[in-house]
Structure 1
Amino acid sequence: MVVSLQLPWCYVLITLFLSFTLSLSVGNTLQSPVFTKQPGSIVFPVDSMEKNREVVFSCEAQGDPPPFYRWKLNGSLLNSKPGSHHSLSGGNLRINHLNKEDAGTYQCLASNSFGTIVSREASLTFAYLENFRSHKRSSVSVREGQGVVLLCGPPPHSGALTFSWIFNEYPSFVKQDSRRFVSQETGNLYIAKVEPSDVGNYTCVVTNTVTKTRVQGPPTPLILRNDGVMGEYEPKIEVQFPEIVQVAKGSTVRLECFALGNPVPSISWHRVDGVPFARKVDVRKTSGVMEIPYFQQEDAGTYECVAENSKGRNSVQGKLSFFASPQLIEKPQDVQKAIDDSLVWECKATGKPKPSYRWMKNGENLEPTEERVQVINGALSITRLGLSDIGMYQCVAGNKYGEVYTNAELRVIAVAPDFFQNQLKSHTLVKEGGDVLIECKPKMSPRGTISWRKGNDALRAMLKRIVILESGSLRISNTTKADAGTYTCAAHNQFGEASSSGNLIVKEPTIITTAPNTLDVTVGESIILPCQVSYDPSLELKFTWFFNEQLIHFGSHGGYFEKVGGMHAVPGVCVSVQGACAGSGGGSSHTMCAFCFVPVPKVVGGSHLTATVIELNPWVEYEFRVLASNAVGTGEPSKPSKKARTKETVPKVTPANVSGGGGSRSELVITWEPVPEELQNAAGFGYVVAFRPFGATGWMQAAVPSPEASKYVFKNETILPFSPFQVKVGVYNNKGEGPFGPVVTIYSAEEEPGRAPSRLRAKSLSAFDVEVYWKALPWSTSKKRVLGYELRYWEKNEKEDKASLLRTVGNRTMAIIQGLKGCTTYYITVRAYNTAGTGPPSPAVNVTTKKPPPSQPPSKVMWNTSNSKIILNWEQVKPLENESEVMGYKILYKRNQFSRPSIMETNTTSVELSLPTDEEYIIQIRPFGEGGEGSSSRQITIPKISGRSSSAN
C-alpha cells in the first residue's frame, strides 16, 4: 500500500502511528516469555471451606510484549470468563466457591508474540477427617500371656493421619515399649503378651496432619478369659513392611515390624548383605521401628527384621529401592537461526529411573518426524528450518516420580539483503601507503554472497593487496592514489539483493619533517622547540605536545608553555541518525500506537516536500509525523497528520493453530485462533471451513461470518467415532476470498472405553492419603482409546452418587487419593475415560484410612555458640488429649530466607550443630510423632557471633 504526504523540512525521517496493537518501546528489548513464578501444589482443608472457600495458584512470567495467561485443569483449558468461579488476576488463578470437582492437576500457560510456555504441574486436593461411627465396639477377650491386636479402623478422611491410643481415660495414653506397639500405617494397637494390668478400655485417637482435626473412636474393652494362662509360643510377626519400598532421594523412610509372642519377642534389624548400618539409621528396638533419614543410593538394599524369643525365631525381609526425580544438568538456550539451517538442542537430566524426554512447542507436544524433527536421548534436532518452526520450545524430562521443564526460544530469520542500518561509510579516508578496511555488514538471512566493484568494474583480488574477507568486508593494503574511487558492496541471497556505495579518499601522509632535538639550556632561559610537517592541504592539521609522556594543556600553566605558529583546528564531528521505536497511547483503551521509522526508497533530501511510505497494512488508519535532521542532530517530531486509511484488499492471513476434536457423538469439532482485526484487510470478514473424510476427494465447506469466531461444529449421524478428517480454514471479506491455511488432521468425537480396569488395590498411607493401584487397559489409538483413569471414592456410610472424583492423565496405574478423613472406610472404583466419557467401573474395593501430630510448638528455645558449634535447648512438647506422642524433633536450619533448609533429627530436647559461627543462620524446631510433624517454633536468627548465648521463647 502507498501513502503520499508533504514534508516541510530539510533532512527528514518519517515516523508513523499505527492504530492497531503493538508493544514497542524506546530502550526496551523484545523478550520471549520466561516464568518468574510457577504454581505449587495446594492441599485445602475441607474444614475451612465454609469460612473461606477460595484458593489462588500463583503464576508470573516476564516478557515483552507482556505475556497473557491461560490455565489448564487435567489437560483441558479452563474457562475464566466473567461468571465463572475461576478468575485471573494477572497470571494468578483464583478459584472461588470451591467444590470437589476443582480437584486435579493445574498448569499455567504464558504467551506473547514469541510463543507459549507451560508451567510445571500443580495439584489441588482436599484434606478432611470425619468422625468415627458412634456405635459401640465389642469387647475383646484374651487369655493372659496371649498376644492381641486392637483395630482402629479410622473414619473417612483425606490427608496423612497419625494414631495414638487412650487407656481407660484421658490423658492416660498407651506408652509404646517392647510389649506394646501402635502402627502408624494401620493405626492398630498391638500387645505382644497380655498382662492383667492391660485390662481396660482402649480408644483410638486419629489426627489429620493437614487439617489438625482430631477424632476419637468408640472404646474397645479388653478383658481376660478365665480359662487359664496362655503357654509360651514362638514369635508371630503381625506388623510387616512391603517386599519392595520405593524411597525418594533425601527423604526419610520408616519401616515397622512387630511381633506377638510369649515370652515377649525382641526385635532386631540388619541388612541382608551384611553392610553395617550408617550412623544416621535410627533403630528403635522397643517400638519396632527403623528410620533412615536423608536416604541415598548407598542406603538401598534388602533389610531384614528378626523377631526372636526363647521359643523360636521368625523374620521378614523387604527391599528398599532408591529413586530420584529428574534434575536438569544441561538446558537448551535461546537461539536465532537462518532459514534452511539445522538446529540441535541438547537437554540432559539426572534421575532414577533414568528420565525420558519429550519436547513441546508453544505449549503443545512436539511429535518427531522421520524427515525433519527427531528426538534422540533428549536432544532435539530440526533440519531445513522454516518460518513455521519459530516459537517457544520446552524440554520435559520425567520419570514416574516427577517432571522438570526448561524452555528456549527459536527464531528463524529469512531476510533479503538490507543496508538500511549498515550503509557503507560515505567517505573513508586513508593515508597513502596505509591499510584500510571498508566494512560491509548487510542484514540478510540466510547468509548469501558478497561481491565488490570499483566504479562499474568488478573488483578482483590483487596479489593479496586487495582482499575480500570472509565477513564480506574489503581490506586494501599499501594504498596508492590509484585506489581512490567509489566502491560498491553488493549482497545477494535467494530472497533478493541490495548494494551500498562509499568513496575511498587517499590522502598524502602527514610527516614530521623537522622534529624537536636535544638542547642544553640555562635555567630561566626561554627556548623554542621546532615542529614542522608536510601534510595533505585538504586536511586540517592539529598539533599535540607531550612533556615526559604527559599531555601539555596550553593555557593552564600560567604561560609556562606556549604554542607559537602552527594551525589550530577543531576536530571533526561525525553525526549519525538511527531509527527507534517508542510506545505511545492511542485513542482507545484497547489500542496502542507505535512510533516507528518506516521504509522509504532512499534518503529524503531537504528540498523534498513529499515522500512515499511503503509496506503498510491494508484497511488500517495511520497518522504520520516528520522529523528533520542535520549535522547537529535530529529535531522534535511534527504534530500528527490527519488520519489516512489504506485501501481494502482481499485477506492474506489465515487462522493459526487450527485443531479440534472431542465433542459429542457424531460431531466433528474444529477450532482455530481468530485473525487479528488489523490483518482482516476489509469489512465483512469471515472464515470458510472446509473438511472431508480422510481419503475422500471432494471438500465440504461452511461459511462462518463472525470475525471473532474460533469454533465450528459439524454434526452428522453418519460420522463414525474417532474418524480422521482433513480440515483447512480459509478467510474472506467484502473484497473476495483469501487463501486457505494448511491442511490438518482432526478426529471426530470418540466412543467411551468399553472395558473396566482390573486388579484394583488400595493401601492406606496415612489418615488422609490412600494409594491406589490397578492394571491398565491396552494403550492404543482405537475408537475406544484411553486418555486416563477416573477414580471414584465414597465413605462406607454414604451412597455412591456422592462419590468424589480423581482423574489421572495417561496410562498411569497408580494414584494417591488425598484429603480423606481419618479412620474411615472408603469404597473405591476405577474406570477409564476419554473425550467421549467414562467406561464401566471396576469392582469396588474398600480401604480404611489411618492421630494428629502435636499442635504446640517447642517453647523456651535457648541457644549459645562455642567454637564451631551451635547448641540448642528447648522445653519438651506435651501433646494434647487427641494428639500423638512426641517421638522426636526436627531441626531445620539454613543460611538465609531463600536457601533450602538442612534437617537434623533428635529424640532429646537439645542438640549440637557443627556449623561455622561466622555465618548467620535461621533455625526452626518442629516436633514429630506417629501423627507426623507438628507445629514449628518461631524462626530463630543466629547472627555471625561466637561464644554468646540467647533465648527465643
Structure 2
Amino acid sequence: MRFLQAAITVRENEVARLPCAGMPDVIPSPAHICFQRMGSTEDCLGSKNDTKYFVTESGMQISLVTPLDAGFYICIVRNEFTNQSRRSQKPVLIVVTESNITEKATPELIKPALVYPAKETTIDAPIELAVAEGEDIVLECVINMAKIVWIKHNDTTPNVTMDDNTSRFQQIWGNLKIRSVALGDSGIYSCLGLPIVGWDGKIDNNTTRPRVDYNLVVYSPSGVRLSITQQFNKRYLLECLATNLRYEIPTAYINGTSIVHNINSLGIPSNTNFYNNPIRVHMEVKSSFTGSIQCVSRPTMVEAEIYGFGLERGKSMNMFVMNTHNSNDLIINGPKNITVLVGQTADFPCIVQRVKARSWMKNNRTLSLFTSRRTILGSNSLRISKVELGDEGMYTCVAQSESGHTSYSSAYLTVTDNTPTKAPVVTSTEPFLDKKKDMKIDVEDVRGFVTGTEVRIQWSVLGKMEALTKIAKFLIEAQRFGTPEDSWIEAESVASHVRATTIKSLIPDNKYKFRIKMIRDDGTHVLSLPTDWMNVEATSGDVLPMAPKIYSVYQWSTDSAKVLFTHNVLIENAAAKTFVIVYNEVSSDQNKSQVVQVDGNQNEAIITGLTLETQYLIRAIAENSAGKSLNSNEYIFNTTPLIIFEQTN
C-alpha cells in the first residue's frame, strides 16, 4: 500500500503536536478522535487519564518525546453512541532528533519556538472560539524551550493550576483547559512563551513573543430536562422543563406527534398542563406502551439548524420507553467474589441493560473510575490493574434507569501478598547492583526554584532504556530546617515519565531541602542526593486559604438546593475572596460537574439544575489571589419531591 504522509521533526524531550491528517468527516456528532501507532497492539492513545498523550479536538500532543516515540501514527474518529469509527488514510510520521544540552547550546537553539498554532496572533486579531455554557474547552498552545504563562486581558486572570484535575482552570503542559465554562469566562486569553534563559522577569502583555491569543465567546443555549417519576397508586408524572428561556414554553412529543394530540397512546391522563413551563402530565401509563418521548426547547424548533456538537442554540432530550418484563432487574450478569495476588489484575464483570447512569461503589462509597489503575470495560465491567493490598473490599455495580429505579450487585475482592522478604533499600551513592549492568539507574541533578510559597523541583535519570522501563513512580521527599536529619516526609508522588513537579503550600519564612526517591516495579528504590537548603520567604500578600466545611444542605425548590458552609480564617491574609461550590450526580457515568461561585463574605449558596430523586456529591473550595484551598469534606445530598398542599373551599 502506498500513501503520502505528513512528517513532523521534533527534538528529544520536547512536545510534539500531531495533526489529524485527512480527518474523516463522515462520523456523526458527537464524535472524538484518538491516535493509534502503526505496528502497536495498543488500541487507542490519549485516554482521559493519560499523562503522556493529550488529545484535543483536532490533534494529539506527546510530552517529553523520546527516540522510542518515532514512527507512524494514524488518526481515528469514533462515535461511542453509534459504535462507528473511521481511520484516516494519511498517517503522520514523527522524526525525533537528538536534544541539545542547554549549557552548550547557542542562544538561537534555546530561544522559545512556537509549534502550535502554526502562526502567531495579536490581541487585535485573535483566534475566535465559541463554546456553550457548561461545556469544556481546551485552548491549545505548544511553545518549546519556553516557560508558558496564561493571562486574561481587561480582567483578573483566573487561578490556573498545573496538577489539580478538579480545578476549573488547569494548565496541561502549555494548554489551558477550562471545565464547565461560565458566561463570565468570555474574553481574550493570551499564551506567552517566556525564555528559560536570559529572561529579565518582566512581562509585556502586548508585545511578548512568541504568543497565541484566543477570543473565547461563551453563550448560553436553551436547555431542557425530561423526567418521568412514579407517584402514588401506580401513577406517573411526566415533566418537560425548559431553561434559559424568556417567555417561550417547551413542547413534548410522543412517537413524533405533539403530546396534546397523542397523549392517549402513552396512557390515561388525570391532570394535564400543556401550556406552561414546565409541561406536567399526571397519568396512568399503559403497560403495553413502547416508544419515544421527546422534550424540545423553542430555539431548537425555530432554528432547526446544525451548529456542531457543543454549539447548539437550543437542545432537546429524548427517552425511549420499553415494554419489558424484566425492567426492574437492570443488571443482567453481576460480579462474583474473587481472590488475586498483589500486582495482578482483578476483573469484576457486570453486564447491564441500557440505563441512564452506571457506576461502582467500594464499601458503600462511590468509587472514582478516573485513575490509571481502574478502567470500565463493556457496559459496566470493572478492571483493576496492579492490585494493591488497599484494594481489598466489597465492590458494588450500580445501574440506574431513566425512571430512577436502581439495581445493585456486589462481590468481595480478597488480596493476598506472597512477598517473602522485605525489598532492599539502595541509594544513588551506593548504586543498585544487578547481575546485569544494564539495570543500573542513577537519579541526579536535583534542582529547585522557589516562587513565593511554591518550589519547582526537577531532576534527571540516567540508565539504559531496559532499566528505565522498570520505574514505577517517583516520590519527592522534603525536610524542613530544624527537624531531625532523618526526618523526611513525602511531599508529592508523580508517574514514571515525569521529571519535574511543583511543591505547593510551603510554610513561609522557613528553609527546605528536597530529594527524589525512585521506586521500581519490584519495590526497590534509589535515593538521590538532597538539594541545598532553599528559603521560602514570608509574604505580605494573600496566602492560600483553608478548606471550608459544609455542614448542611436542604431542598430549596424542585430543581435547586441551599448549601450552608463555614470557613475558618487563622490569619487575615488567608481570608477567601470567593467560594466555589462544585456538585455532580453520584451515579452519572459522565462524571461532569457543575459550578456555583459566591463572594467571600457569604456562607451559603444556591445550586440549581438538580433532578428529583437523585444523589449528588457536593464540595466547596475557597479562593483568593494566592490560589485555591483544598476541597472541603464531601457532602452527599439526595433530592426529594416537594409536597405542596392546596386548600380548597
Q: Do the two structures share a fold, i.e. TM-score over 0.5?
A: no
Larger RCO, structure (CA 8 Å, separation 6 or more): 1
TM-score between the two structures when normalised by the length of structure 1: 0.22
Q: Which has the larger radius of gyration?
A: 1
TM-score between the two structures when normalised by the length of structure 2: 0.30
